[in-house]
Amino acid sequence: MGIDLSDSSSCQPPSLPLMVIAQMKYFILSMRPHQWIKNIVIFAAIIFSCNIFQWDMLVRVVSAFFLFCAFSGCIYLINDLLDIESDQKHPLKRQRPIASGKLIKSVAIWGAAVIGLSSFFIAWFMSWSFFLVALSYVLLQIAYSFKLKQIVILDVFSIATGFVLRVIAGAEVIHVPISSWLLICTMLLSLFLALSKRRHELILLKGDATTHRKILQEYSPYLLDQMIAVVTSATVLAYALYTVAPETVQKFHTSRLIYTVPFVLYGILRYLYLIHQKKEGGRPEELLVTDKPMLINILLYGLAVILILYC
In tens digits, what is the pLDDT along the chain, a chain of 311 residues?
Answer: 444 444 444 455 567 777 778 888 888 888 888 888 889 999 999 998 889 889 999 999 999 999 999 999 999 888 888 877 777 766 677 778 888 778 888 888 898 899 999 999 999 999 999 999 999 999 999 899 888 988 999 999 999 999 999 999 999 999 998 888 889 999 999 999 899 888 888 887 665 555 566 788 888 889 999 999 999 999 999 999 999 999 999 988 899 999 999 999 999 999 989 888 877 766 777 777 788 999 999 999 999 999 998 87
CB contact at 8 A, 215 and 152:
yes
Transcribe 11-66 into DSSP letters: GSPPPHHHHHHHHHHHHHHHT-GGGGGGGGGGGHHHHHTT-TT-HHHHHHHHHHHH
Distance (Å) of CA 155 to CA 68, 197, 207: 20, 12, 21
Residue 295 has a pLDDT of 92
Give the pLDDT confidence score for residue 5 in this predicted structure: 44
Q: What is the pLDDT of residue 1?
A: 41
pLDDT for the residue 210? 54
C-alpha closest to that of 164 among 139, 142, 143, 191: 191
pTM of the model: 0.84
User: Cα-flanking dihedrals φ and ψ of residue 279, to 5°?
Assistant: 55, 40
Closest Cα partner for 285 from 6, 35, 12?
Answer: 35
Q: What is the pLDDT of residue 50?
A: 87
